[in-house]
Amino acid sequence: MPVRFTRLFVVALLGACLTTVAFAAGPTLVLRGDVATTRGPMQDVAAAWAKSGHGKVDVQPFNTASGLDAVRNGSADIAGSARDGNGSAQEAGLVFTPVAWDALVMITHPSNPVGSLTLKQLHDIYYGKITNWDEVGGRNEPINAYAVASPGDGVEFSLRKLLFGRGNQPVAAPRLYVNTAKLEEAVTLDPKSLGVTTLSRVAGNRKVKMIRIDGVAPSAGTVASGSYKLYTPLYLVTNPNSAHAAEAQAFVEFAKGDKAAAVLRRDAVLPYDAGSALAAMDASRRSQILAAVGAHAVPQPPAAAPIAAPGATYASRAAIAPTSERTLEARRALEERRARTASLKGVRGEATTVDAPAARGPAFAKVAASVTVKTTAAKAPAPHARTYKVAKGDTLFSIARKHGVAVDDLRAWNHLEGNQVKPGQVLRLGER
């Protein structure tokens, strides 16, 4: 009997301990944001957080805008972002806390012979001046520049701010993807491709080739030393007015602590506090980059419209984040811009890049450039083609591409809840 009593006592004691741990753990937090931050570094930090008994974190990698909007409207507790706040009214009240340093990495297909670009060459490719790989030592074939479509994407915004002095600079990259994960997949299939992602995303990935910048290869070591110039902070974003504000802030503090530091280093990123020298040299680094490419930082109001650059194109079939208000607004803006510019053969635009520095006066701030606005969008359907009968093998995406309309519009016009269509089904190709 004493033995049985002892066993029962031990079982009861263990049960009480487990109950205490369960109640001690906080609520499940939702972390949503760009792939660069959430899929990898913060995913692993979240696992360490849970292992330490703090509770679960539901990590939802997608893109920057969807994460920030979710934190703003309360459907997420934390957002991951590879950029700081942009000062817009939509982001007012959100707290951006840097937790790590990563590198912006240019990638191409492993078979591409080009292994290094200068900052100036990279700038000119995105600006639309350099369009063929043979201009930078490669084969005689066009450069297929890829970008993330979502407005304010952390990776794209940070790269453009470094190269052009502003993050909202349009670039000559007509191939658009919903996030860096999809961009990376596309690069693995295209020997002529060029796109940007982060070191933590592709370190050790042999399916893509990382390009050196000014002869310096991206690595954890070159980021820590500052010799690789395209480094960027990764941020966790919180809303002080959210239901789980205290728990979200506790996770941010955990991500900046010693337990998370080892996790971050395994993902090829540098803990933010370990990169104090990078923060100190940031302003001079930005000035050096802009001087090297011949550009000037121009202060922009938060809601300023993008300014066109030679070669910049706006694709109407951009991949859009379904849960983001801003990405939906952006798609409508892209459609309107395409309609306005599709028939233009020449327009005037302004850009910060200086084509002829010696010719500018002492009060020079911007240079005007004649540009030709091209459109890669498919031709609109003829006025009489208001419906389409689905054929065998058709998909909603192939029909949208064939008729030059957006998939979202096809769904709305035909009251479709998903992407499924069947042979013989008649679809509207426009509003009633």
State whether the Cα torsion 281-287-288-293 is positive or negative.
positive
SS (H, E, C) the chain: CHHHHHHHHHHHHHHHHHHHHHHHCCCCEEEEEEHHHHHHHHHHHHHHHHHCCCCCEEEEEECHHHHHHHHHHCCCCEEEECCCCCCCHHHCCCEEEEEEEEEEEEEECCCCCCCEECHHHHHHHHHCCCCEHHHHCCCCCECEEEEECCCCCHHHHHHHHHHHCCCCCCCCCCEEECCHHHHHHHHCCCCCEEEEEEHHHHCCCCCCEECEECCECCCHHHHHHCCCCCEEEEEEEECCCCCCHHHHHHHHHHHCCHHHHHHHHHCCCEEHHHHHHHHHCHHHHHHHHHHHHCCCCCCCCCCCCCCCCCCCCCCCCCCCCCCCHHHHHHHHHHHHHHHHHCCCCCEEEEECCCCCHHHCCCCCCCEEEEECCCCCCCCCCCCCCCEEECCCCCCHHHHHHHHCCCHHHHHHHHCCCCCCCCCCCEEECCCC
Candidates 220, 324, 217; CA nearest to 271 is: 220
For the stretch 238-290, pLDDT in tens is 999 999 999 999 999 999 999 999 999 999 999 999 999 999 999 999 999 99
* pLDDT band per the 50, 70, 90 thresholds, residue 409: confident
User: Is the predicted pLDDT of residue 172 greater than 70, yes or no?
Assistant: yes
Pairing of strands 144-148, 193-198: parallel
Least confident of 54-63, 317-326, 380-389, 419-428: 317-326
* pLDDT band per the 50, 70, 90 thresholds, residue 403: confident
Least confident of 149-153, 168-172, 232-236, 257-261: 149-153
What number is the average pLDDT over the span 129-139? 96
The CA distance from 378 to 174, in Å, is 13
User: Is the predicted pLDDT of residue 332 greater than 80, yes or no?
Assistant: no
| Contact between 380 and 404 (Cβ < 8 Å) | yes
CA angle (49 as vertex; 249, 54 as ends), nearest 5: 75
pLDDT score for 290? 96
What are the structure tokens assigned to 384, written together? 């009489």
For the stretch 282-329, pLDDT in tens is 999 999 999 999 987 666 554 433 434 444 433 323 333 334 445 445
The CA distance from 319 to 181, in Å, is 12
Domains of the chain (ranges plus CATH)? 2-100+233-274 (3.40.190.10), 387-428 (3.10.350.10)
Candidates 107, 335, 133; CA nearest to 205 is: 107
| Contact between 99 and 69 (Cβ < 8 Å) | no
Percent of all residues in the chain with a pLDDT value above 90, rounded to a whole number: 54
The CA distance from 289 to 122, in Å, is 11
User: Is the predicted pLDDT of residue 17 greater than 70, yes or no?
Assistant: no
User: Is the predicted pLDDT of residue 411 greater than 90, yes or no?
Assistant: no
Q: In the predicted model, what is the mean pLDDT of the chain? A: 78
pLDDT score for 432? 63
Least confident of 150-154, 307-311, 423-427: 307-311
Least confident of 191-200, 253-262, 335-344: 335-344
413 vs 5, higher pLDDT: 413
Cβ neighbors of 77 (< 8 A, separation 6 or more) are: 29, 30, 31, 71, 238, 239, 242, 243, 244, 245, 247, 248
Residue with tokens 């049960």: 15
The CA distance from 177 to 174, in Å, is 10
Residue 312 half-sphere exposure toward CB, CA atoms < 13 A: 23
For the stretch 386-400, pLDDT in tens is 888 888 878 777 787
What number is the average pLDDT over the span 377-381? 39
Q: For residue 30, what are the β-bridge partners?
A: 58
Candidates 318, 296, 293; CA nearest to 307 is: 296
What are the structure tokens assigned to 24, written together? 């001690």
pLDDT score for 307? 39
| Contact between 336 and 305 (Cβ < 8 Å) | no
pLDDT score for 298? 63
pTM: 0.67
152 vs 123, higher pLDDT: 123
What are the structure tokens assigned to 109, written together? 């297909």
Pairing of strands 212-213, 347-351: unpaired
pLDDT score for 339? 43
